Amino acid sequence: MKNRKYLKKYLIQILIVVIVFLISFIFISKLEYNEYKRNFNYKINGIFLLLQEKYPDITKDDLIKILNSDNSKTNILKEYGYDIEIDSLLIQNDKLNVRYNIYKVVIIGLCLVILIYLFVTSHLESDKEIDKIIRLLEKINHKNYELNIDELSEDKLSILREEIYKTTIMLKENADNSLKDKINIKNSLQDISHQLKTPLTSINIMLDNISDDPNMKVEVREEFIRHIKREMASITFLVQAILKLSRFESNTITFYPKEVSVQKIIDAVISNVSNLSDLKNICIVVDNRCKNKIKCDFKWQVEALTNILKNAIEYSHDDNKVILECNDNNLYTEFRIKDFGKGMSAEDTINIFKRFYKGENTDINKDSIGIGLSLSKAIIEKDNGQIVVESKKEKGTTFIIKYFKAKL
């Protein structure tokens, strides 16, 4: 498209030059014709008057016949005593013709100079653009992805330059993403190493105890085995959660949003935590005022809300309740999950969504590894949602999740 604009620009310039040339040429030719016609008419009248003085019987019709005859006009007029070849006015006409021919040559020359100038200028501009592109490619080869957008212009090579800029931006994004991936992998490996150290050490100690004491009581041995299984389950959950979180951070998970009823999501979430709520005798009170559907990835959002509801149950006192509310307006659908536990400090509310952050209440849930809420936040935000937390010490905690109906 821009190449067409460039071609159109130069065609218009050439067309203007040609039009100016034609107008000038026609104008000069018109001047020449008018002056020649005036001189010619004046001269014919002069010849007629001169001949009429010498030959009173000659008429204008006779003169016209002489001038229009196929015979030599010069010889016929000489017979009447007039020599056209030495007439000063006609000689003046010849000089006039020469002068106007010089004007025409000058105009043609100027037009040729302008056309040559346009041609040379266009090639010089192309050479400049090629030099810029070469310098840009040299920068890219040295992994310098800095772009100078001010250099962009609509010229002959603008399409090529634009494509190079697009490629440069893509390469820069790929380089940045690659660096982020490396950092995420490094952090994930460090986190996994740190989080696995404690359960693996515990498993190793229990296995040593079992192997070192062949006469260990069956009850004690079974208790060790239960602890080992629990630690293995914790390790499995940890690895899966970290891998999921890493995939979210590296943007390698694809969501498949569909229209899902809010009630269906609530039922699935409550089903996932029913065993834990029964174990602690926690009553889950549902206040669903939403009769509509929301567009989301059902599987992932159920997992996110399950982690939050599970967290609320784990940090609630036994024989208590957790409230799950749902409200709707023109902008978003809102879930509120409220517990009546010990609550959190201001510092905890700021850091609660950081992975492996456990806060002050670790004594309540010693098995917590501090990754569930971080994973939930990543899931919700990827599905056009938002999560915040409100908490007061000894008053409980409320998680507020909003799913926006329009893209943020």
165 within domain boundaries? no
137 and 91 in a single domain? The answer is yes
Alpha carbon distances (Å) from 223 to 140, 210, 220, 229: 63, 11, 5, 10
**Residue 156 belongs to a domain:** no
Same domain flag for 127 and 202? no
User: Do strands 385-392 and 258-261 pair parallel, antiparallel, or not at all (unpaired)?
Assistant: unpaired
Instruction: Indicate the residue among 151, 182, 202 that finishes a domain.
Output: 151
Nearest to 168 by CA among 200, 188, 139, 134: 139
Domain assignment present for 349: yes
Domain that holds residue 242: 170-249
Is residue 320 included in any domain, yes or no?
yes
Q: Both tokens of residue 216?
A: 């260990």
pLDDT in tens, the chain (408 residues): 445 555 566 667 777 777 777 777 677 677 766 776 676 666 667 666 766 666 676 666 666 666 665 554 445 455 544 445 444 444 455 555 666 667 666 777 677 777 777 666 666 566 666 666 667 666 666 666 565 544 444 554 566 666 666 776 777 777 777 777 677 667 666 766 766 777 788 888 888 888 888 888 888 888 888 888 888 877 887 777 777 877 777 777 888 889 999 999 999 999 999 988 998 999 999 988 887 888 899 999 999 999 999 989 988 888 999 999 999 888 899 999 999 988 888 888 888 888 777 666 555 555 556 678 888 998 999 888 999 999 988 889 999 999 998 665
324 exposure class (CB count in 10 Å sphere: 0-12, 13-18, 19+): buried
| CATH number of domain containing 186 | 1.10.287.130
Residue where a domain stops, chosen among 124, 151, 178? 151
Q: How many domains does the chain have?
A: 3
Last residue of a domain, one of 249, 272, 304: 249
Q: Is residue 98 part of a domain?
A: yes
| Residue pointed to by tokens 């507020």 | 400
Dihedral, CA atoms, 274, 277, 278, 281, nearest 10 degrees?
A: -160
Q: Is 370 inside any structural domain?
A: yes
CATH number at residue 390: 3.30.565.10
